[in-house]
């Protein structure tokens, strides 16, 4: 059930697609009509040229490579009116080529299509190999044979028997009768799908590709382009030169002021460095006189001081005291003194007093003092 | 002349013109464009410098004042020898004013502090007196000479070990000064 539904949908899509593509296939008989049976002039991809617009002949050639055959045909057809040549299949050691000489001015008057296929060539696939068809539409009648050839009806060849005799078909075999455009369109729609690829290739639109280039006056165009290019180069070069000159002049004019500014900037940099160095120098000056506070504190506590040394901000005190540790404690409590330590062992002398050597660091700057205060 | 030959000649001519005229010309234009770009950038910078000129001068002047103020802490010395004599005299008088007896005054060496633009002389002094006098002299030097850095001090107290004890002291000082152009 599902399979049938899918098939139906696909068939509808295919039919819609074929119908859509049919609009781009125009049959040019006495009037224009596309394969969707819409009349009017279209811009087709494929043009099926009505039988009344060409003459047909056939010629047999020895078996040649297709490429060589094309060369031969090109030479033969050179200078002739527009002619489509459709090589048939190889039969034995020969190959038959169908020529369709197009009526002058017909396809030139129509919108350019990719392919131009003669009507009889399309419909021939609808005729059985030994059969033939009597085609009549729009007051035009012709006979179509299984080998693809066709013969317009007219004069003595209006009667079927004579046509059959002339064409070598069985006179007793009645031809298919195709009457009217609608029936032919149906045949064409079916036949078009059977046209082999090589036939399509042979039926490329024979009109030369003219893009109108031959009508272009190349010389003045080239001269104009060259002049425009030259003018552009001259103008742009002049602009660049003039701009460069003007800006260089401006730069030269500003040179003394630039030098002055650069010198001032350089001097400012030097002065900044010197100011910082001076500030650092004066800031690093230690308050060394503070060391006497340690001496005073020691003496106040009945210590005696034998030697005082100060170097690189560190003070060393040599002396005697009843209790050296007390001296150390006192000095450690002074904010200006840091890292107060005994430098050597405290020894008791004969008098019972203790010999000591202690050292401490002086706060180097105001910042250090503030830190010490905190 | 055959049209194909004409076309070929035309193409060859066009290529020759492109190779020997257009390409060098466009190359020269590219060089010119690069130079113009560089000059434009220089000009922009120059204009910025010129526009900032007054600010730069003002900043320089402000800094010069600031530097002069900081450097003024060190005395100006037009002549090195005169400065030495004067400093020696001042230090000696400061020490002697404290009651000490100067035993040695020695210039150890002269140096320069390049970043600050100052020069300095290193002095070693030996003097003798009581411990109190030594302390007073030290304080007087440090308080009275802001350009002086006390590098080291060594005091030996010979007897008693108190403020009235006799002490011999050696002090090493760095004296900063602004060198004059002649020195």
DSSP class of B18: I
Nearest CB to B157; choose among A229, A260, A307: A307
pLDDT at A372: 43
Q: Give how far A338 is from chain B: nearest CA, Å.
A: 18
Transcribe A259-303 into DSSP letters: HHHHHHHHHHHHHHHHHHHHHHHHHT---GGGHHHHHHHHHHTT-
pLDDT at B183: 40
- B41 interfacial to chain A (CB closer than 8 Å): no
* A164-197 pLDDT per residue, tens: 777 777 778 888 888 888 888 888 888 888 888 8
pLDDT at B151: 92
pLDDT at A217: 77
Q: Which residues of A touch B53 (CB under 8 A)?
A: 257, 260-261, 264
Tokens of A10: 């696909």
**Contact indicator for A298, A340 with CB cutoff of 8 Å:** no
d(CA A201, CA A199): 5
**Contact indicator for A99, A59 with CB cutoff of 8 Å:** yes
Interface touch B113/A243, C-beta < 8 Å: no
**Contact indicator for A255, B50 with CB cutoff of 8 Å:** no
Strand pairing category for A132-137 and A176-179: parallel
Tokens of A362: 């002086």
Ranges A41-50, A97-106, A341-350, B52-61: which has the least confidence: A41-50
Nearest CB to A244; choose among B35, B152, B165: B35
Question: What number is the average pLDDT over the span A271-288?
Answer: 91
Find the radius of gyration of the CA atoms of chain B: 38
- Alpha helices by DSSP H, listed for B72-176, are 80-97, 131-144
Interface touch A312/B152, C-beta < 8 Å: yes
Interface touch A240/B32, C-beta < 8 Å: yes
Reported as type and span, the H/E element at residue A150 is strand A150-152
Higher-pLDDT residue of A323 and A158 is: A323
Q: Give how far B5 is from chain A: nearest CA, Å.
A: 16
Interface touch A282/B42, C-beta < 8 Å: no
pLDDT at B24: 94
Higher-pLDDT residue of A180 and A366 is: A180
pLDDT at A357: 93
Higher-pLDDT residue of A320 and A22 is: A320
ipTM above 0.85, yes or no: no
Cβ count within 10 A of residue B153:
21
pLDDT at B126: 94
pLDDT at A370: 47
Q: Which residues of B touch A281 (CB under 8 A)?
A: 113, 116, 118, 176
DSSP class of A39: B
Question: What number is the average pLDDT over the span A81-109?
Answer: 85
DSSP class of A53: G
Q: Whose CA is closest to A116, among A218, A178, A26?
A: A26
CA distances to A36, A135, B98 from A39, rounded to whole Å, are: 9, 20, 135
- Residue range B76-179 forms a domain whose CATH class is alpha beta
Mutate to test the interface with B, among A219, A254, A275 (most CBs of B within 10 A): A275
pLDDT at A279: 93
Higher-pLDDT residue of A43 and B88 is: B88
Question: What number is the average pLDDT over the span A96-108?
Answer: 86
Q: What angle, 0 to 180 degrees and rounded to 10, lies between the N-to-C axes of helices B23-51 and A218-283?
A: 30
Reported as type and span, the H/E element at residue B27 is helix B23-51
Q: Assign B171 a pLDDT band (cuts: 50, 70, 90).
A: very high
User: Residue A374: pLDDT above 50?
Assistant: no
Higher-pLDDT residue of B20 and A8 is: B20
User: Residue A373: pLDDT above 80?
Assistant: no
Mutate to test the interface with A, among B27, B30, B161, B176 (most CBs of A within 10 A): B161
- A260 interfacial to chain B (CB closer than 8 Å): yes
Q: Assign A371 a pLDDT band (cuts: 50, 70, 90).
A: very low
Q: Assign A32 a pLDDT band (cuts: 50, 70, 90).
A: confident
- A182 interfacial to chain B (CB closer than 8 Å): no
Interface touch B56/A291, C-beta < 8 Å: no
- A343 interfacial to chain B (CB closer than 8 Å): no
The sign of the CA dihedral A187, A192, A198, A200 is positive
Percent of chain B residues topping a pLDDT of 70:
96
* B5-37 pLDDT per residue, tens: 888 898 899 899 999 999 999 999 999 999 999
Q: Whose CA is closest to A117, among A86, A146, A138, A140?
A: A86
Average pLDDT, chain A: 85
- Give the per-residue SS3 of A303-340: CEEEEEEEECCEEEEEEEECCHHHHHHHHHCCCCEEEE
**Highest-confidence segment of A166-180, A243-257, A344-358:** A243-257
Provide the b/e sequence for B28-62 (b: ≥16 CB within 10 Å).
ebeebeeebeebeebbeebeebbeebeebbebbee
Q: Which residues of A touch B50 (CB under 8 A)?
A: 254, 257-258, 261
- A241 interfacial to chain B (CB closer than 8 Å): yes
């Amino acid at each position: 059930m599902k399979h049938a539904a899918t098939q139906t949908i696909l068939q509808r899509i295919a039919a819609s697609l074929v119908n859509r593509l049919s609009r781009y296939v125009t049959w040019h008989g006495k009037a224009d009509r596309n394969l969707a049976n819409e009349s009017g002039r279209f811009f087709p991809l494929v043009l099926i040229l009505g039988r009344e617009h060409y003459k047909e002949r056939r010629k047999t050639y020895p078996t040649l490579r297709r490429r060589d055959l094309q060369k031969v045909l090109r030479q033969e057809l050179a200078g002739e009116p527009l002619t489509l040549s459709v090589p048939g299949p190889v039969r034995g050691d020969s190959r038959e080529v169908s020529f369709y000489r197009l009526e002058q001015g017909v396809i030139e008057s129509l919108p350019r299509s990719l392919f131009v296929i003669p009507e009889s060539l399309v419909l021939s696939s609808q005729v059985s190999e030994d059969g033939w068809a009597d085609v009549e539409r729009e007051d035009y009648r012709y006979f179509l044979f299984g080998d693809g050839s066709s013969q317009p009806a007219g004069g003595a060849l209006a009667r079927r028997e004579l046509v059959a005799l002339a064409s070598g078909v069985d006179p007793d075999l009645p031809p298919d009768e195709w009457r009217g455009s609608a029936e032919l369109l149906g045949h064409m729609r079916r036949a078009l799908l059977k046209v082999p690829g090589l036939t399509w290739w042979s039926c490329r639109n024979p009109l030369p590709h003219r893009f109108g280039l031959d009508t272009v006056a190349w010389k003045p165009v080239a001269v104009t382009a060259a002049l425009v290019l030259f003018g552009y180069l001259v103008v742009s070069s002049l602009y660049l030169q003039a701009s460069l000159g003007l800006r260089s002049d401006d730069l030269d004019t500003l040179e003394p002021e630039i030098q002055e500014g650069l010198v001032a900037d350089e001097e400012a940099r030097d002065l900044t460095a010197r100011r910082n160095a001076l500030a650092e120098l004066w800031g690093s000056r230690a308050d060394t006189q503070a060391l006497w506070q340690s001496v005073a504190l020691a003496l106040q506590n009945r210590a005696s001081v034998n030697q005082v040394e100060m170097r690189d901000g560190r003070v060393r005190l040599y002396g005697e005291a009843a209790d050296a540790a007390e001296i150390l404690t006192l000095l450690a409590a002074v904010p200006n003194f840091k890292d107060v330590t005994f430098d050597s062992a405290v020894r008791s002398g004969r008098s019972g007093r203790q010999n000591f050597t202690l050292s401490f660091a002086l706060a180097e700057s105001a910042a250090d003092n503030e830190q010490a205060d905190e | 002349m055959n049209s194909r030959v004409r076309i070929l000649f035309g193409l060859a001519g066009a290529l020759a013109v492109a190779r020997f005229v257009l390409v060098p010309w466009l190359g020269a234009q590219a060089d010119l464009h690069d130079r113009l770009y560089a000059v434009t950038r220089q000009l922009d910078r120059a204009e910025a410098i010129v526009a900032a000129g007054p600010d730069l001068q003002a900043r320089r002047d402000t800094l010069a004042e600031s530097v002069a103020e900081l450097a003024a802490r060190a005395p100006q010395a037009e002549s090195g020898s005169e400065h030495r004599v004067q400093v020696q005299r001042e230090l000696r008088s400061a020490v002697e004013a404290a009651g000490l007896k100067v035993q040695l005054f020695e210039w150890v060496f002269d140096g320069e502090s390049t970043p600050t633009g100052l020069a300095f002389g290193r002095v070693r002094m030996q003097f003798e007196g009581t411990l109190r006098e030594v302390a007073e002299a030290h304080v007087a030097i440090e308080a009275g000479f802001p350009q002086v850095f006390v590098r080291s001090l060594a005091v030996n107290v010979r007897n008693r070990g108190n403020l009235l004890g006799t002490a011999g002291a050696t002090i090493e000082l760095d004296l900063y000064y602004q060198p004059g152009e002649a020195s």
